[in-house]
Structure 1
Amino acid sequence: MVSSSSLAGHGHPKVVVIMGATGCGKSRLSIDLASHFRSAEVINSDKMQVYRGLDITTNKIPWADRRGVRHHLLGSLDPDDGEITPLQFRSLGEDAISDIASRGNLIILVGGSNSFIHALLADRFDPEAEASPELRYDCCVLWVHVSPTILKKGVPERVDGMLRMGAFDELAEYYHLRRTDPGARVGLRKAIGVLEFDRYFEKYPPTRVVGPGEAWGREDARERQSDPVRERAYQEALLEIMKNADHLIKGQVEKIRELRKSGWVLHSLDATQAVRLAMAPEEEGGGGGRSREVWEKDVVGRSVGFVNQFLREH
């Protein structure tokens, strides 16, 4: 149990920050740390995950995987209200930090939108200025780093997994809704997958009303089996998603390096081996058990050490 006195440094709330590119395991680490320290709550800083809707497409952590950890700004905003700005997130994040601190709980900020993290943590935030090392909270910043080659290799598997879970049906429903109401859920329009599949749906619109137990994707897959042109258009949408995901990863890493160059102190955690093992087949030494073992040692164990030291500091 973390004492409330250890959660305020020099009169400011103490915040554990988890940064990293898409696919590195940020959300997983946030739950691991919250479970370890028990009195912890998580604030989401992903600009698409703040909205309700497209839960699979935006890769929100499922309820079952949250292990009872309380989350803030995760699927809590109405996407019909428009796109949230970094300044608006700064205000919402400040309220969430104050709320958690009032209960004496550990604050964990996690997400892939580094512009939002910068906006929330900077002492004096200026959207037009470069990052400053001056922060308004006492922060322990953890950077979950994975080799760009390994992250890029994992993108197709991530996209395929999201489609198996129902991302295609979410996107089809979203497209269908905006055909009748163009302004609906505008906050989600920049989620990766929306624009890419919009082009596909413009050619092959999901027009049939889906009944209980049915899905857009099931019908579409049947149609693609007998139409190679349609199948090619579908594959082009997937390739575009993968290309944009790769571009996002590069941008995320570049922003993190900019923050470090500006003076932010980052504790680097190398999760490359754990992620590589998670993707590798068993005959190549991969598999869930070995990957979890490496993750616990290289990422969780070192993170706990950094956070314990951070909480002891006054």
Structure 2
Amino acid sequence: ALERTLFEYDMSLPGVVVAPQLGGMTVGAAVVTSAHGSSLVGPAGIASFLQSALLVDGTGDVHALDAPGDLLEGSLGMLGVVTEVTLYVQRKKKMAVRLLQSEDFDLVADLRDIIDNSEALALDVTWNPTAGMYQARVWHETDAASVGDARNVVLQPPADWLEQLGERVHHDQLDVHDRLGHMCEVIGEMSHFPYFEHSPDQQPDETTPPDTAIGWINHMASASCASAAAPTPGSAASKSGLPAPAPPCLLGSAKWTPYELAIPSQDFSSWLADARAVLRHARGCPPFVLTFRFVGESDAPLALSSGRQVVAIELSTLSSGQPGAEVLPLKFARLHEELLQV
């Protein structure tokens, strides 16, 4: 709602923002509940853009909070009701996202080349060491008159394939017995998202994992569940007075859990080597991928060797959300623990 309203007035939030998934929340609700996303990625929530707020306490007194400070970063629900907020915004900008996908033989060198030879405002990378592939998204500001009007298109996966997920993947326990990446291939096929695969020219050997389709996993966390449909007259749900069950959705059949790490950018190369060593013997499609972003602690430009910068690393695990299912398959639990300790 906030994004649509700002666009109507040719405005947007400043900077490159990975907005938290606030759904239908109002600005006031987002402030009061301190709803936020990952602070490693960028501005974590609406409070990051607040200049002032009006708060009515339990006695009816109105308080003007003109210096937001740390107070507005937390939850104000216990103090009163936020009735008005002032946000810092700017004229809207158009962003272009260039998608790069390649084998990871020279991952660090490739990223240095992107950073040094582009005017990127932001860079995020999803890396699957087992598949030996990475996908980079390079964010640029572009001319407002350029073609394309999609908003947050990368966060809007199609919905029609979600209903088939339980039957194709989880009901037949592909997620439990998946050793060759079939679960990833099936979901990639159903979602029609781009996927990572080995180059046809590459000669496989005993160290080469099978072809793996995992591009869809980038979109999993933001896939939304359809609301329950109204019960039809005469149906069992209608007679019982209960709402009709909602159709199956991705987040109802799978669990997506992020673990956030942060390292100085000068240690990034050695961290990559350690992570690669941990996953060297993993086969197929492990139920986790690594996403890292270059986050400036100030206005420093993107770099791989800046002491003023950290690399935000998000290790995300994928497991069945079915009742009684393991949180993480045992065969990957040890690898998961090692990655968290790297």
TM-score normalised by structure 2 residue count: 0.22
Higher percent of residues as strand? 2
**Higher CA-based Rg:** 2
Greater RCO, CA 8 A, separation 6+: 1
